[in-house]
Homo-oligomer: A and B are copies of this chain.
Amino acid sequence: MLETCITSVRNTVPLVHNITNYVTVNDVANILLACGGSPIMSDEPDDVEDITSVCGGLNINIGTLNRRSIEAMFLAGKRANELGHALLLDPVGAGASALRTDTAVRLMDELKFDVIRGNVSEIKTLALGSGTTKGVDADAADAVTEENLDTMIRFAKDFAAKAGVIVAITGAIDLVADADTCYVIRNGRPEMGKITGTGCQLSGMMTAFLVANPDRKLEAAAAAVCVMGLAGEIGWRNMRPEDGNSTYRNRIIDAVFHMDEKTLKEGAKYEVR
């Protein structure tokens, strides 16, 4: 029934406040519109409490954090918590710098997140203090594979239990877990890694899914991952020989724009463990 989550988004047009990096922010806004949500961006401490108050959810992405936006993250996050809004953390580059790791850890300590979504190296950094983040990409040595799948499912559930969150670890195989249940998702294309910001886009879209499906957040988070991966597959099928990663970016968002329950039901590839 995961596929009905997108209909909830389209029916309710959730307004999502994004404190996110300036690299991929335009694509985040357009994918939020594509899936049926509505984006607003604000990272000024004097502005964010008002803005987040009129929204249903808050997506915090530390991709190009700075002193001012960090202050805004805490102010907005506290307000979002007070109001019971959906709250998501995308710890971009955790493990690549002390500021990023420390900020992500402090955000986890001081705020109550519904979901933390990152690549495996970022999540390992937060869980173990030992991820080997290579810039903003996961290290191949950390990857979730068919061989280490049982171990990684255990890791995801344990982290979810300890942190009191839903964790979404995305890569070739995606894991979306709470303490008890793990969705193992096999949608997507390797070429998505050649586009900047597919992870950021997913985090923005996932926040809309959480807002629109408050009573089934694990399923909503998994549905967003399926939508993104399936859009990657559909977008790839629409590629012509001369198209490359810049056009692929458009085609993925376009595929989200056309995504409906039927397409999602037929295309989602997941198991529940």
Q: Are B242 and A251 in contact (CB under 8 A)?
A: yes
A98 contact set on B, CB distance < 8 A: 50
Q: How far is the CA of A249 from the CA of B249 in the complex (A)?
A: 13
**Does A257 count as interface, using CB distance less than 8 angstroms?**
yes
Q: How far is the CA of A23 from the CA of B25 in the complex (A)?
A: 6
Query: How many copies of this protein are present in the complex?
Result: 3
Stretch from A81-89, A130-138, A177-185, A263-271 at the B interface: A130-138
Q: How far is the CA of A34 from the CA of B246 in the complex (A)?
A: 8
CB closest residue in chain B, given A237:
B242
Stretch from A194-202, A208-216, A221-229 at the B interface: A194-202
Q: Are A54 and B99 in contact (CB under 8 A)?
A: no
**Does A147 count as interface, using CB distance less than 8 angstroms?**
no
Q: How far is the CA of A24 from the CA of B234 in the complex (A)?
A: 26
List residues of A (214-249) whose CB comes within 8 Å of B's CBs: 234, 238, 242-247, 249
**Does A12 count as interface, using CB distance less than 8 angstroms?**
no
Q: Are A196 and B135 in contact (CB under 8 A)?
A: no
Q: Are B46 and A67 in contact (CB under 8 A)?
A: yes
**Does A15 count as interface, using CB distance less than 8 angstroms?**
yes
Q: Are A93 and B253 in contact (CB under 8 A)?
A: no
A249 contact set on B, CB distance < 8 A: 30, 246
A29 contact set on B, CB distance < 8 A: 23-24, 196-197
Q: Are A247 and B251 in contact (CB under 8 A)?
A: yes
Q: Are A254 and B258 in contact (CB under 8 A)?
A: no
A243 contact set on B, CB distance < 8 A: 254
Q: Are A30 and B196 in contact (CB under 8 A)?
A: yes
For A68, A254, A258, which residue has the most chain B Cβ atoms within 10 angstroms? A254
Q: Are A33 and B195 in contact (CB under 8 A)?
A: yes
A23 contact set on B, CB distance < 8 A: 25-26, 29, 39, 41
Q: Are A41 and B66 in contact (CB under 8 A)?
A: no
**Does A255 count as interface, using CB distance less than 8 angstroms?**
yes
Least CB distance, A64 to chain B, in whole angstroms: 5
> Which of these, B15, B41, B50, B255, contacts A21 with CB under 8 Å?
B41
CB closest residue in chain B, given A250:
B246
List residues of A (1-47) whose CB comes within 8 Å of B's CBs: 15, 21-27, 29-31, 33-34, 38-44, 46-47
A33 contact set on B, CB distance < 8 A: 194-196, 245
> Given contacts A66-B43, A135-B15, is CB(A250)–CB(B250) below 8 Å?
yes
